[in-house]
Chains A and B, each alone.
Chain A
Amino acid sequence: MPVWRTAYASVTGTSHAATGTPCQDAGRCEVVVAGDGTEILIAAVADGAGSAAHSEAGSRMAVNSYVEEFGSLAMKDPTLASANRAVVIQWMQGLRDSIREAAATDGHKFSEYACTFLGAVVGPTRAMFVQIGDGAIVVRDAGSEDYSWVFWPQNGEYANSTNFITQKDLENAVEVEFADTVPIELGIFSDGIERLVLDMRQRIVHTPALRPIFQWLARTERPNGSCGESPPLVAFLRSEKVNSRTDDDKTLVVATRAIAEGEP
Chain B
Amino acid sequence: MTIISTRIRVAPDGTISGRAPAGEHEAEVVFRAHAGRRAPLADALEADIPAGMGGFLAVRVRVACVEITLEPELSNIKSSGLEYLVASSVQSYKLSALSGQPWPDRTHRFAHDFVPHMQPWGCLMTDDQVPFDAELISNPEPRCPCVLLLDTSVSMRGRPLQELNEGVQTFRNEILADKLATQRVEVAMITFGPVNKVSDFQTFDHFNPPHLQPTGDTPMGAAIVSGLNLLEERKRHFKAAGVSYYRPWLFLITDGGPTDNYQEAASRVHAGDNDERKAFSFWGIGVEGADMTRLGEICSPNRPPLKLGGLNFRELFVWLSASMKSVAQSRPGEAVSLPQPKWLTV
* A residues with CB within 8 A of B: 12, 17-20, 48-52, 55, 114, 116, 133-134, 155, 157-162, 164, 191, 195-203, 206, 208-210, 212-213, 215-216, 231-232, 234-236, 238-242, 245, 248
Q: Is B9 an interface residue (CB 8 A)?
A: yes
Q: Is B267 an interface residue (CB 8 A)?
A: no
Known A160-B246, A209-B135; judge A17-B117 contact (CB<8 A): yes
- B242 — which chain A residues lie within 8 A by C-beta? 200-203
Offer 17 A-B interface pairs, CB within 8 angstroms, sorted by A.
Answer: A49-B334, A160-B246, A160-B336, A164-B333, A195-B139, A200-B242, A201-B140, A202-B242, A208-B134, A216-B132, A232-B129, A232-B131, A235-B127, A238-B7, A238-B9, A240-B11, A241-B127
- B133 — which chain A residues lie within 8 A by C-beta? 212
- B122 — which chain A residues lie within 8 A by C-beta? 231, 234
- A197 — which chain B residues lie within 8 A by C-beta? 134, 136-137
Q: Which of A55, A158, A159, A239 contacts B130 (CB 8 A)?
A: A239
B331-A248 in contact (CB<8A): yes
Known A17-B115, A212-B135, A231-B125; judge A52-B333 contact (CB<8 A): yes
- Give the distance to chain B from A198, nearest Cβ to Cβ, in Å: 7
Q: Which of chain B's residues 165-193 have a Cβ closer than 8 Å to chain A?
A: none
A-B pairs, 4 with minimum CB distance? A49-B333, A50-B334, A235-B125, A162-B332
Closest residue of chain B to A245, judged by CB? B136
Q: Is B241 an interface residue (CB 8 A)?
A: yes
Query: Interface centre among A155, A158, A164, A234, by most B CB within 10 Å?
Result: A158
Interface size bracket, B side: 35 or more
A254 to B146, CA, bound (A): 40
- Give the distance to chain A from B120, nearest Cβ to Cβ, in Å: 10
Closest residue of chain B to A20, judged by CB? B117
Closest residue of chain A to B242, judged by CB? A201
Q: Which of A160, A232, A241 contacts B125 (CB 8 A)?
A: A232
A158-B247 in contact (CB<8A): yes
Q: Which of chain B's residues 104-131 have a Cβ closer than 8 Å to chain A?
A: 113, 115-117, 119, 122-123, 125-127, 129-131
A235-B134 in contact (CB<8A): no
Known A20-B116, A215-B132, A239-B130; judge A200-B244 contact (CB<8 A): yes
A158-B136 in contact (CB<8A): no
